[in-house]
Amino acid sequence: MECKTNKREKLYSLLGDLPERSQPVIAKKIKELNKGVYTLEVLLLEVEGSGDIPAYFARPQNVTEKMPVVLFNHSHGGNYQLGKTELIQSSDYLQKTSYATQLTSMGFGVLCLDMLGFGERRGKAESEIFKELLWKGQVMWGRMIYDNIRALDYVMTRDDVDSSRIAALGMSMGGLMAWWLSALDERVKVCVDIAAQVDAETLVANRGLDHHGFYSYVPSLLKYFRTSDIQRLIVPRHHLSVVGNDDKLTPFEGLGIIDEELKDEYEKIGVPENWKMVRYECGHIETAGMRAEVCSFLQNYL
Protein backbone atom coordinates (compact mmCIF):
# COMPACT_ATOMS: atom_id res chain seq x y z
CA MET A 1 0.00 0.00 0.00
CA GLU A 2 2.81 2.37 0.89
CA CYS A 3 4.46 1.70 -2.45
CA LYS A 4 1.28 2.67 -4.31
CA THR A 5 0.94 5.78 -2.16
CA ASN A 6 4.45 6.82 -3.14
CA LYS A 7 3.74 6.16 -6.80
CA ARG A 8 0.55 8.20 -6.67
CA GLU A 9 2.43 11.07 -5.07
CA LYS A 10 5.10 10.86 -7.77
CA LEU A 11 2.52 10.75 -10.55
CA TYR A 12 0.67 13.73 -9.09
CA SER A 13 3.93 15.64 -8.76
CA LEU A 14 4.47 15.42 -12.53
CA LEU A 15 1.24 17.34 -13.14
CA GLY A 16 2.80 20.74 -12.51
CA ASP A 17 2.04 23.37 -9.89
CA LEU A 18 -1.51 22.73 -8.76
CA PRO A 19 -3.70 24.68 -6.33
CA GLU A 20 -4.13 23.53 -2.76
CA ARG A 21 -7.34 21.78 -1.73
CA SER A 22 -7.73 23.71 1.50
CA GLN A 23 -11.09 25.31 0.67
CA PRO A 24 -14.36 23.40 0.17
CA VAL A 25 -16.01 23.37 -3.25
CA ILE A 26 -19.02 25.67 -3.19
CA ALA A 27 -21.86 24.71 -5.51
CA LYS A 28 -24.38 27.23 -6.83
CA LYS A 29 -27.47 25.80 -8.51
CA ILE A 30 -28.34 28.01 -11.48
CA LYS A 31 -31.52 26.16 -12.34
CA GLU A 32 -33.17 22.76 -12.27
CA LEU A 33 -34.77 21.26 -15.37
CA ASN A 34 -37.30 18.47 -15.68
CA LYS A 35 -36.00 16.37 -18.59
CA GLY A 36 -38.87 13.92 -18.42
CA VAL A 37 -36.93 10.81 -17.46
CA TYR A 38 -34.49 12.62 -15.17
CA THR A 39 -33.89 15.92 -13.42
CA LEU A 40 -30.96 18.07 -14.55
CA GLU A 41 -29.24 20.46 -12.17
CA VAL A 42 -27.29 23.26 -13.86
CA LEU A 43 -24.43 24.12 -11.51
CA LEU A 44 -21.48 26.41 -11.01
CA LEU A 45 -18.78 24.81 -8.87
CA GLU A 46 -16.53 27.36 -7.18
CA VAL A 47 -13.17 25.62 -7.11
CA GLU A 48 -10.04 26.97 -5.46
CA GLY A 49 -7.59 28.01 -8.16
CA SER A 50 -10.00 27.34 -11.03
CA GLY A 51 -12.82 29.79 -10.39
CA ASP A 52 -16.38 28.85 -11.34
CA ILE A 53 -16.66 25.58 -13.27
CA PRO A 54 -19.94 24.99 -15.13
CA ALA A 55 -21.32 21.49 -14.51
CA TYR A 56 -24.38 19.32 -14.96
CA PHE A 57 -25.72 16.89 -12.39
CA ALA A 58 -28.39 14.51 -13.67
CA ARG A 59 -30.36 12.48 -11.17
CA PRO A 60 -33.21 10.00 -11.36
CA GLN A 61 -36.60 11.41 -10.49
CA ASN A 62 -38.30 10.44 -7.24
CA VAL A 63 -35.09 9.20 -5.59
CA THR A 64 -35.74 8.00 -2.05
CA GLU A 65 -32.38 6.44 -1.17
CA LYS A 66 -28.78 7.59 -1.48
CA MET A 67 -27.64 6.91 -5.02
CA PRO A 68 -24.40 5.79 -6.60
CA VAL A 69 -22.82 8.42 -8.84
CA VAL A 70 -20.91 8.25 -12.11
CA LEU A 71 -18.46 11.04 -12.89
CA PHE A 72 -18.94 11.25 -16.66
CA ASN A 73 -15.91 12.77 -18.38
CA HIS A 74 -16.70 14.31 -21.75
CA SER A 75 -14.61 13.60 -24.84
CA HIS A 76 -12.52 15.91 -27.02
CA GLY A 77 -13.14 15.23 -30.72
CA GLY A 78 -12.37 18.86 -31.53
CA ASN A 79 -15.84 19.64 -30.17
CA TYR A 80 -14.72 22.50 -27.97
CA GLN A 81 -18.22 23.98 -27.97
CA LEU A 82 -19.79 20.78 -26.60
CA GLY A 83 -18.08 19.99 -23.30
CA LYS A 84 -20.50 18.87 -20.60
CA THR A 85 -23.39 18.97 -23.07
CA GLU A 86 -22.13 15.59 -24.27
CA LEU A 87 -23.74 14.16 -21.12
CA ILE A 88 -27.24 15.09 -22.30
CA GLN A 89 -26.63 15.11 -26.07
CA SER A 90 -24.35 12.38 -27.40
CA SER A 91 -21.47 13.14 -29.75
CA ASP A 92 -21.65 11.57 -33.20
CA TYR A 93 -19.31 8.73 -32.17
CA LEU A 94 -21.33 7.80 -29.08
CA GLN A 95 -24.56 5.82 -29.08
CA LYS A 96 -27.64 7.98 -29.66
CA THR A 97 -29.10 7.51 -26.17
CA SER A 98 -27.35 10.04 -23.96
CA TYR A 99 -25.47 8.85 -20.91
CA ALA A 100 -27.68 11.10 -18.77
CA THR A 101 -30.74 9.16 -19.90
CA GLN A 102 -28.95 5.80 -19.82
CA LEU A 103 -27.41 6.09 -16.37
CA THR A 104 -30.26 7.78 -14.55
CA SER A 105 -32.57 5.03 -15.84
CA MET A 106 -30.26 2.61 -14.01
CA GLY A 107 -30.66 4.56 -10.77
CA PHE A 108 -27.37 6.44 -10.93
CA GLY A 109 -26.67 10.12 -10.46
CA VAL A 110 -24.26 11.59 -13.04
CA LEU A 111 -21.94 14.60 -12.80
CA CYS A 112 -20.15 16.16 -15.75
CA LEU A 113 -18.14 19.38 -15.81
CA ASP A 114 -16.76 21.48 -18.63
CA MET A 115 -13.08 20.66 -18.82
CA LEU A 116 -10.60 23.48 -19.34
CA GLY A 117 -11.00 24.93 -22.85
CA PHE A 118 -14.38 23.28 -23.51
CA GLY A 119 -18.03 24.26 -23.34
CA GLU A 120 -18.54 27.42 -21.30
CA ARG A 121 -14.81 27.45 -20.49
CA ARG A 122 -13.73 27.86 -24.10
CA GLY A 123 -12.31 31.07 -25.57
CA LYS A 124 -8.62 30.26 -25.83
CA ALA A 125 -7.24 27.64 -28.21
CA GLU A 126 -6.05 24.40 -26.63
CA SER A 127 -2.51 25.05 -27.86
CA GLU A 128 -2.58 28.54 -26.33
CA ILE A 129 -3.73 27.20 -22.96
CA PHE A 130 -1.10 24.47 -23.04
CA LYS A 131 1.75 26.89 -23.84
CA GLU A 132 0.69 29.51 -21.32
CA LEU A 133 0.44 26.98 -18.50
CA LEU A 134 3.80 25.45 -19.43
CA TRP A 135 5.48 28.82 -19.06
CA LYS A 136 3.91 29.10 -15.60
CA GLY A 137 5.14 25.69 -14.48
CA GLN A 138 1.73 24.14 -14.93
CA VAL A 139 0.42 21.30 -17.07
CA MET A 140 -2.92 21.42 -18.88
CA TRP A 141 -3.69 17.78 -18.09
CA GLY A 142 -2.80 18.42 -14.47
CA ARG A 143 -5.31 21.25 -14.26
CA MET A 144 -7.98 19.04 -15.83
CA ILE A 145 -7.29 16.26 -13.35
CA TYR A 146 -7.29 18.68 -10.44
CA ASP A 147 -10.72 19.98 -11.46
CA ASN A 148 -12.08 16.44 -11.60
CA ILE A 149 -10.65 15.59 -8.18
CA ARG A 150 -12.41 18.67 -6.84
CA ALA A 151 -15.57 17.51 -8.59
CA LEU A 152 -15.28 14.33 -6.54
CA ASP A 153 -14.87 16.48 -3.43
CA TYR A 154 -18.19 18.12 -4.31
CA VAL A 155 -19.95 14.80 -4.93
CA MET A 156 -18.89 13.64 -1.46
CA THR A 157 -20.74 16.58 0.13
CA ARG A 158 -24.14 15.75 -1.36
CA ASP A 159 -26.53 14.16 1.08
CA ASP A 160 -28.28 12.22 -1.70
CA VAL A 161 -25.10 10.39 -2.74
CA ASP A 162 -23.73 7.05 -1.55
CA SER A 163 -20.07 8.08 -1.32
CA SER A 164 -18.93 4.45 -1.26
CA ARG A 165 -20.29 3.88 -4.77
CA ILE A 166 -18.53 6.23 -7.18
CA ALA A 167 -17.50 5.44 -10.76
CA ALA A 168 -15.55 7.28 -13.45
CA LEU A 169 -16.57 6.88 -17.10
CA GLY A 170 -15.71 8.47 -20.40
CA MET A 171 -14.78 8.06 -24.04
CA SER A 172 -11.52 9.10 -25.69
CA MET A 173 -10.20 12.07 -23.68
CA GLY A 174 -12.95 11.31 -21.17
CA GLY A 175 -11.81 7.69 -20.92
CA LEU A 176 -8.24 8.81 -20.41
CA MET A 177 -9.48 11.02 -17.59
CA ALA A 178 -11.43 8.10 -16.12
CA TRP A 179 -8.36 5.90 -15.69
CA TRP A 180 -6.01 8.68 -14.63
CA LEU A 181 -8.51 9.90 -12.04
CA SER A 182 -9.13 6.35 -10.80
CA ALA A 183 -5.38 5.77 -10.50
CA LEU A 184 -4.89 8.94 -8.44
CA ASP A 185 -8.06 8.91 -6.32
CA GLU A 186 -9.17 5.76 -4.50
CA ARG A 187 -12.62 7.20 -3.92
CA VAL A 188 -13.39 5.99 -7.44
CA LYS A 189 -14.49 2.37 -6.99
CA VAL A 190 -15.27 1.49 -10.62
CA CYS A 191 -13.42 2.70 -13.72
CA VAL A 192 -14.81 2.39 -17.26
CA ASP A 193 -12.99 3.75 -20.28
CA ILE A 194 -14.12 3.71 -23.92
CA ALA A 195 -11.63 4.02 -26.81
CA ALA A 196 -8.99 5.39 -24.46
CA GLN A 197 -6.19 2.84 -24.10
CA VAL A 198 -3.11 4.58 -25.48
CA ASP A 199 0.18 2.83 -24.79
CA ALA A 200 2.58 5.77 -24.96
CA GLU A 201 5.66 3.91 -26.22
CA THR A 202 3.63 2.23 -28.97
CA LEU A 203 2.14 5.57 -29.97
CA VAL A 204 5.64 7.02 -30.32
CA ALA A 205 6.91 3.99 -32.26
CA ASN A 206 3.95 4.22 -34.64
CA ARG A 207 4.47 7.97 -35.06
CA GLY A 208 0.95 8.59 -33.84
CA LEU A 209 1.59 11.52 -31.53
CA ASP A 210 -0.21 13.99 -33.78
CA HIS A 211 -3.39 11.91 -33.61
CA HIS A 212 -3.84 13.41 -30.14
CA GLY A 213 -4.23 16.99 -28.93
CA PHE A 214 -1.79 18.89 -26.75
CA TYR A 215 -3.87 18.49 -23.60
CA SER A 216 -2.60 15.09 -22.38
CA TYR A 217 1.16 15.50 -22.69
CA VAL A 218 2.83 15.48 -19.27
CA PRO A 219 6.52 16.47 -19.03
CA SER A 220 8.89 13.67 -17.92
CA LEU A 221 6.04 11.13 -17.68
CA LEU A 222 7.83 8.38 -19.59
CA LYS A 223 10.88 8.64 -17.36
CA TYR A 224 8.80 7.13 -14.56
CA PHE A 225 5.58 5.56 -15.86
CA ARG A 226 4.33 3.40 -18.68
CA THR A 227 0.62 3.58 -19.47
CA SER A 228 0.02 0.27 -17.69
CA ASP A 229 2.03 1.48 -14.65
CA ILE A 230 -0.50 4.25 -14.12
CA GLN A 231 -3.40 1.85 -14.41
CA ARG A 232 -1.80 -0.59 -11.99
CA LEU A 233 -2.65 2.02 -9.36
CA ILE A 234 -6.34 1.16 -9.91
CA VAL A 235 -5.78 -2.47 -8.85
CA PRO A 236 -7.70 -4.21 -7.20
CA ARG A 237 -10.71 -2.05 -8.02
CA HIS A 238 -13.04 -2.92 -10.92
CA HIS A 239 -11.87 -1.68 -14.31
CA LEU A 240 -13.48 -2.18 -17.72
CA SER A 241 -11.93 -1.05 -20.99
CA VAL A 242 -13.77 -1.30 -24.30
CA VAL A 243 -11.67 -0.62 -27.38
CA GLY A 244 -11.68 -0.82 -31.17
CA ASN A 245 -9.04 -2.90 -32.94
CA ASP A 246 -9.05 -0.41 -35.84
CA ASP A 247 -8.82 2.73 -33.72
CA LYS A 248 -5.76 4.71 -34.87
CA LEU A 249 -5.80 6.72 -31.65
CA THR A 250 -5.25 3.54 -29.58
CA PRO A 251 -2.61 1.55 -31.53
CA PHE A 252 -3.43 -2.16 -31.87
CA GLU A 253 -0.10 -3.44 -30.53
CA GLY A 254 -0.43 -1.26 -27.45
CA LEU A 255 -3.80 -2.76 -26.57
CA GLY A 256 -2.18 -6.16 -26.17
CA ILE A 257 0.60 -4.78 -23.98
CA ILE A 258 -1.81 -3.04 -21.61
CA ASP A 259 -4.18 -6.00 -21.46
CA GLU A 260 -1.49 -8.54 -20.66
CA GLU A 261 0.23 -6.41 -18.04
CA LEU A 262 -3.01 -5.61 -16.23
CA LYS A 263 -4.20 -9.23 -16.46
CA ASP A 264 -0.98 -10.28 -14.73
CA GLU A 265 -1.39 -7.64 -12.03
CA TYR A 266 -4.99 -8.58 -11.23
CA GLU A 267 -4.19 -12.30 -11.29
CA LYS A 268 -1.31 -11.81 -8.86
CA ILE A 269 -3.67 -10.57 -6.17
CA GLY A 270 -6.36 -13.12 -6.92
CA VAL A 271 -9.06 -10.96 -8.53
CA PRO A 272 -8.66 -11.53 -12.30
CA GLU A 273 -12.37 -10.83 -12.82
CA ASN A 274 -11.89 -7.20 -11.76
CA TRP A 275 -10.08 -6.31 -15.00
CA LYS A 276 -11.70 -6.70 -18.39
CA MET A 277 -10.67 -5.47 -21.83
CA VAL A 278 -13.19 -6.15 -24.57
CA ARG A 279 -12.20 -5.53 -28.18
CA TYR A 280 -14.48 -4.73 -31.09
CA GLU A 281 -13.85 -4.60 -34.84
CA CYS A 282 -14.32 -0.85 -35.13
CA GLY A 283 -12.52 2.46 -35.07
CA HIS A 284 -12.86 5.41 -32.70
CA ILE A 285 -16.54 4.97 -31.88
CA GLU A 286 -18.80 3.52 -29.21
CA THR A 287 -20.73 0.58 -30.65
CA ALA A 288 -24.03 -0.82 -29.36
CA GLY A 289 -22.06 -3.78 -28.01
CA MET A 290 -19.74 -1.46 -26.11
CA ARG A 291 -22.67 0.44 -24.57
CA ALA A 292 -24.27 -2.83 -23.44
CA GLU A 293 -20.96 -3.99 -21.91
CA VAL A 294 -20.51 -0.68 -20.08
CA CYS A 295 -24.03 -0.76 -18.64
CA SER A 296 -23.71 -4.37 -17.56
CA PHE A 297 -20.38 -3.70 -15.83
CA LEU A 298 -21.73 -0.70 -13.94
CA GLN A 299 -24.89 -2.54 -12.99
CA ASN A 300 -22.87 -5.46 -11.62
CA TYR A 301 -20.15 -3.59 -9.74
CA LEU A 302 -21.28 -0.08 -8.81
Q: What is the DSSP letter of 123?
A: S
- Other residues' Cβ atoms within 10 Å of the Cβ of residue 125: 12
The pLDDT of residue 180 is: 98
> Position 9: which residue type?
E
Residue 203 has a pLDDT of 84
In whole angstroms, give the CA distance from residue 73 to residue 176.
9
- pLDDT value for 54: 98
Q: Which residues of the chain are under the pLDDT cut of 50?
A: none
Q: Can you give the pLDDT at residue 2?
A: 57
Distance CA 39, CA 239 (A): 28
Long-range contacts of 202-209 (CB under 8 A, 24+ apart): 202/251, 202/253, 202/254, 202/257, 203/251, 203/254, 206/251, 206/253, 208/248, 208/249, 208/251
Query: What pLDDT is recorded for position 212?
Result: 82
Predicted local distance difference test score (pLDDT) of residue 207: 85
Q: Residue 135: what pLDDT?
A: 96
